[in-house]
Amino acid sequence: MTTIAWDVDDVLNDLMGAWLREEWQPAHPSCAASYGDLRSNPPHEVIGAELDEYLASLDSFRHSRYLDQLQPLPEAVEWFERNGDRYRHIVLTSVPVRYAPTSASWVLRHFGRWIRSFNFVPSKRSGESLPEYDGSKQDFLSWFGKAEVLVDDHPGNVEAARKAGLNALLMPRPWNGANGAARETFKELESL
């Protein structure tokens, strides 16, 4: 069976959009940026914040609302219900180490019927000192050696996976310049 490696945030869910609507804008009513305005990731300059302030806000959202309020993308759920049993699935996400258990719990709650392996490359946060086994998702995938497909929202991860010989799909998001909609990406995945 083909093994698909899935990013979580902004691929299986809409973390950035939910964070902007539910965390950032209520705390910063003068912020006029819409989701479509987030042309960079991290979007701290677009929203008028320092990087550490943005990361603290995103981490606050992960801590307080991620598990109970963040819903999976309907397109992802539909795709897994139709096609999930035709592939093997792993998660390969980049998340702060202290929120990896939260992310894993979210994945298992919503996709545990299909996804049986949770892997992450820690997102760096100030004040943390961690052993670095893999500096990137591509480093992990090269070591792991089992995945044939990567689905991610970061163009650098997709490009690196393609250079390494994997099929890779870029989930369209405002910050990555990909055209189309999530539904089209899931449809493309069926044709691989």
How far is 57 from 52, CA to CA, in rounded Å?
A: 9
Quick one: 40 and 88 in the same domain?
Answer: no
Quick one: 59 and 116 in the same domain?
Answer: no
Q: What is the pLDDT of residues 38-62, one digit of tens each?
A: 999 999 999 999 999 999 999 999 9
Residue 89: in which H helix or E strand, if any? strand 88-95
- pTM for this entry: 0.96
Check: CB of residue 134 under 8 Å from CB of residue 140: yes
C-alpha neighbours within 13 Å on the C-beta side of residue 79: 22
Domain that holds residue 178: 3-14+71-191
Domain boundary among 53, 69, 85: 69
* Total domains present in the chain: 2
Q: In what order do the strands lie in the sheet with 115-122?
A: 115-122, 88-95, 3-6, 149-152, 167-170
Q: What is the pLDDT of residues 66-86, one digit of tens each?
A: 999 999 999 999 999 999 999
Read off the CATH number of the domain in which 129 is found: 3.40.50.1000
Quick one: 77 and 147 in the same domain?
Answer: yes
How far is 89 from 4, CA to CA, in rounded Å?
A: 5
Quick one: 64 and 125 in the same domain?
Answer: no
